[in-house]
Structure 1
Amino acid sequence: MASCNSLLSEEQFLCPICLDVFTRPVSTPCGHNFCMPCISSYWDDGVVCRCPVCKETFQRRPDLKVNTFISELASQFVSLQVNDAHMWEPVQQRTSEGEVLCDICTDTQQTAVKSCLECLTSYCGDHLEPHHRAAGLKRHTLVEPVSGLENRICKKHARLLTRVCRTDNAVLCDICAGGAKHNNHNDITVQQAYEEAMATWEEAKGEMQALIKERLQAVRDMKEAVDKSETETKDVIAESVRALTELVSEIQQSQTELVQVIEERQKAAEEQAGAFSLSVEQEITELRSTVMKMSELRGTEDYLDFLVSKQATSLLHPAMNSLTFSFDRHVDIHRVRNCLGKAVPRVRKLLEEMNGEMRELFGSADLGGDSMLRCYIVDILLDPDTAHPQLVVSDDRRQVRYNVGSAPSGNPTRNANAFNAHYAVLGNTALSTYKFYFEVFVGGKSEWCLGLVKESIERNGVIPRRPGCGLWAVWFLDGRFETFCNPNVPIHYCQVERVGVFVRYESDSIHFYNVETATEIYEFTNCSFTEKLYPYLNPCDNEYGSNLDPMIIVPVIQSKG
């Protein structure tokens, strides 16, 4: 092979047009050789078909075929060129010292000096010797040592994979590249493909690193926002507790002072009344003594003695004007009541305004675009197999409506899992997680029923409307709400368009919300969930007016607005 290689020069295998080693070489009728893509492109750009070397003109464009002999010679030439070994360096898997070891050595592996493309084996100098001596082995193609030869050889032609077809994204040998399957395809050398791939990967790597940086920054920003929110939350809680505690303390102080003042005024009034009573009693005693003396004088017949005694008795008559005392606490009590009657409602109104603003704030936060409830949102589809025969479930399985008349032709027979007494359909997913939330658009429907049922709910027949029936639902009809399990008892009055259902499975409760106003419609408590739950939708019939609009499960992607 070495002597053969010494007779061949690189110029013999270069295309006169691209000045590179032949790719799918073809021979023109004038005897010159070119790469098929090169000569085809050359003729496509010209008015006449002319040989680029001798300028011979052909009246008809020659139908060129790949010259397999020249193709094989060019391939062998490339394989035998030591200087071309750099083409393989980017993908060679050598030892830590950069050497390929002999595959034949059993004790201490020696460094390989050549690799055989036919044997798919690398040899050291000693084990390569049969390839120089044996006639059959001399015809084998030897190249510079390359590891993993089985992955570098064409399985069909046992030749080096030297080309990459861009059209089919395949690695080819020169024979594959010149065959009919890849004829007129865009192919390049392995090294060119490697360089292009590296350039593309570097660009992609840069983009990915930019994305990583962007996301890391987003995570840092989020952590900073959470930390700031935590600090602000602690501060506002402390401020709120302090302010409300001070307010409570002031109210208690006012209460204590008010009670003390009222009690002191009552005590003072009682003391005044006691003093008045004592004074009156003393006056009564004196008056009785005077009356007694006057009675005694009345029986005296001595005129002079009567007159003297009468004069002495008149001096004992008390000066009485204590009866002018007035005990009237009604005025003070009335003033206190009047003061409290004005002040307490004002304070209560302020507290109600504050609580209302808090409810509005936190209620809208629960149901708003970035709500806490929507952290638990689940994506639900309807299960057509459970639908009553007179219901129509949409193709995307998010809408259900009542169908007037008989069962639609698409559902001629009732499924064993379907409801036959209630115009109902279930969601396709059993729910038994810690918490979950979903929304249903009901629009302007005049009647509908929405809730959750236990997995074993009876579907063949009427579900009894009583507590413990296994269906926790609100029923809207005739402008009012009632629960399924407690009929004819209104629980809410209003028209809603979008209903949010929030289930706390761990605490056995279900909450129904008016999403638009962020207010609660009803809450089921102490439900005692023992089974998985399924969403229950009942669009109802036309008993309370036109009611053919569908109930629509709001998709997760749309539930942010």
Structure 2
Amino acid sequence: MSAGSNLRSADQFLCSICLDVFTDPVTTPCGHNFCKTCITHHWDDNVLFKCPICKEMFNTRPQLNINVFIREMVSEFRREAQQKSSSSSSEQQAAKPGEVPCDVCTGTRLKALKSCLVCLLSYCETHLEPHLTVSRLNRHQLVEPVENLEDRICTKHDKPLELFCKTDQTCVCMLCSVLDHKTHEFVPLREEYEGKKAELEKTEAETQQMIQKRRLKIQEIKESQKISNDAADREKLEGFLILTSLKKSVERSLKKFIKEIEDKQKTTEKQAEDFIKDLEQEICELKKRSSEVEQLSRSEDHLHLLQRFPSLEDAPPTKNWTEVRVHPPSYEGTVVRAVDQLDKNLREKMKKVLTKAELRRIQQCEVDVTLDPDTAHRKLILSDDGKQVHCGYMRKNLPDNPERFAKYVGVLGKQSFSSDRFYFEVQVKGKTRWDVGVARDSVNRKGTITIDTWNGYWAVCLRNGNEYEAYNDPPVRLHLSSPPEKVGVFVDYEEGLVSFYDVDAAELMYSFTGFYFADKLYPYFCPGLNYSGRNSAPLMICPVNQTV
């Protein structure tokens, strides 16, 4: 008989009680075969003697003898199966540490391919064959290889754990359900498994979502850290430049102070040296006269003395040194004056530094502003991108809608603001007349208009090419160090603050403070009339280029 035919009929060599190949097969009077040990234990546990397969009852316990024919057939089957196992073992791998070994293999235990939850055994490819070919075995539940299959047996009743007690939240066997847990709620393991698996999938999805949120948070923190590092680097660079500039100012003041002292010192030294030189020259002349006088006085020649005396009678010309003095210069107050001047210079420099730092901070509040053509006076010409405006010569034929300025050549921005802070910049280079600022939504746009805070305008202006004013009530004349080419407009809505900056000079031009804003605020622009081309340059809303 071939091995293939044996395997195809292998179920006839299996005991229906232990579901394994016969060991010492015996035959009951009804003709069914069992392992001798299996049928013996079966009848030991039951009062009635009946066949487990056909249920035929026996009045007395049958005397069972070994079925020699079946035993020989089983032995042949085992030998052929062993040969097949040996031949396939060379192709299969032995179980490695951490892998589940086959529970049937003798000698070298091969890696298990599946575990049976009914037999509670793990099988390699060869020993798994009956579970794939025998009809009674292929109904068993096979899973991926698992260890500790004994944990799947009820320790109390020695039965498979097949049910889940929802009351006690534990796995139980069939006997547990009718004995120890009879009033509890049960579901099959698979049903509970599906429910728990769904919960795990939900938990896994939530966990992955939490992981993703934390990854995004990490990215956010890294971005914040990068922004912080960049800000720190900029601050260090600015601090280095500022403090280096201050250091140079101190060094220049020190040099100027020392030079002033040394110049006075040199002047005094020169005066003293000149006096000493003149005195030494006179001493030299006087010594010469003294020598002549002494020599003549020693003469014994009467005639010679009388002849020479007239030439010695007149003394050589000399200066009256009685009132001559070298007056040391006064150094008193030099240090104080130097320190005062240095303090003044440093204050001016620090004021500019602080203004520049403030301007850089508020530039972070930049908003995108475009001009609203529906509000523009009919003479105004707007660029296609809504960023430039200048005054033309002719009035355009446009509808006189309520939003449009009728007499005053003004235009508002499209964007309105009613909270927080905002900032924008306008180039005014080349113009002789302009207004820039913000206006309330409710400002009058028809007829004669007075531009001031009382009427809802917060703006600064240029008139006559060199006169700058803030449209306060009354107007305030502005004294600027230089004509601005780019004006920055900053609004803090909650604080009621509107400030104007000369961007290039980093100087504050003017601030409106202490106001209460209740309406929407719009950016406000007036390029002024053209004046035959003298004021034809446009007002330009430009992007912020942060000051260094």
Q: One fold, TM greater than 0.5?
A: no
- The structure carrying a bigger helix percent of its residues is 1
TM-score by length of 1: 0.38
TM-score by length of 2: 0.39
Could you say which structure has the larger radius of gyration?
Answer: 2
